[in-house]
Amino acid sequence: MSGRWISWFGLASCATAGLFVAASEAVGRRARALRTVKHVGTLSELTLLRDLLPLVVAVAGRVWSSSPIKCEDESTKAAIVQTLEEKHFLKQLENGDWKFDKALLSKSTREVPWVLDDGSGFCLEIVNGQSASGLNLMTVCDHYMPIGRSLIRSATDHLSGIRILGIRRTERALPVGTYVTAVGELAAVAPRAGTEEPGTGPTGSGLVLRRPAAGEPFYITTSQLPELVESLSSLSRLCKWFAVGFGAVGVYLIASQVAVTAAKEWRARRLRAQMRSARRSPDRAVGDEMDENASTQDRCVVCMERPLDAVFSKCGHMCCCLECATRLQHCPICRRSSSVIRVYLP
């Protein structure tokens, strides 16, 4: 099939719709998976599930750690701390103007052993919580360190086209005491020596919450479980509506391109049939037809109203009026690309 039958914008729109469909299905699967997890009211009830392990469960409690990380502001203690360092600078453009830009220098995440405590006398250790989805870290430090200016530095910046402004250091953390909802795989492991609950001594439970091995959901969020499910469901529906919109636009563009091209082909075939019929007719019949003002062969094959007064220079076909010919890129008869010359008839 020739490329003129294809609407590339339509195909791109349909491809975008396919991506939104895939995203909607992926988010929808996560929402459905969260609806089927075992929701545990209190952490002390986890001991009743030992015979079912490993099992994906949803629990809630406050973050606690016996050896929390001290953040840069010294007033915040956290179980997970993420540190970002960005370089801010001005970059000189070709026209001489300076444009602000930034670049990531380093990104690191620290995590110490921590547990969830809901006051029921039982704590649940979280393994590798930094890899969980939905983890909302709170910004506890946002410090900007400007770079001093000097004559030598100014000259160097002018020659290199880069003017360093400063370094921005940001700390985001999961503070101790934050109430979170955690969804993951409940598994039994050997209790770790030295792990203590707040004020109750060693845990000794042998239970941890970790990322499931089979691709099941692993979430740590400050939202409640119903709120998280509804948020994912809304996102899935939004992606589905975007898919419907892009798909409808793509189908319309493709159908329009096919319809327009088919109409042009039909007119060209009709014209070629008329020309073949004229060549097979006797000369006298041809002369009689040319004497008739209403003859369709003396009219433009595009608009079928105006007389023929233009010829395509490369192929020599005279089948259009000047107004229609100037809008065409190809001859309607032979489909050859050609320029148009006006013809003055007596």
Helix 8-36 crosses helix 225-280 at what angle (to 10 degrees)? 160
Q: CB–CB of 207/186 below 8 Å? A: yes
* pLDDT tens digits for range 259-315: 888 888 888 888 888 888 877 765 544 455 445 554 556 788 888 888 888 888 888
* pLDDT tens digits for range 126-156: 998 888 888 888 888 888 888 776 677 667 7
Instruction: Assign 3-state DSSP to the chain and report helix, strand, coil percentages, each to 5.
Output: 35, 30, 30
Residue 163 β-bridge partners: 90
* pLDDT tens digits for range 230-263: 988 999 999 999 999 999 999 999 898 888 888 8
Contacts of 259 (CB under 8 A, 6+ apart): none
User: What's the alpha-carbon Rg for the chain, to the nearest Å?
Assistant: 37
- Predicted TM-score (pTM) above 0.75: no
Pick the CATH number of 281-342 from 3.90.1150.10, 3.10.25.10, 3.30.40.10, 3.80.10.10: 3.30.40.10
Indicate where the chain has its CATH 3.30.40.10 domain(s): 281-342
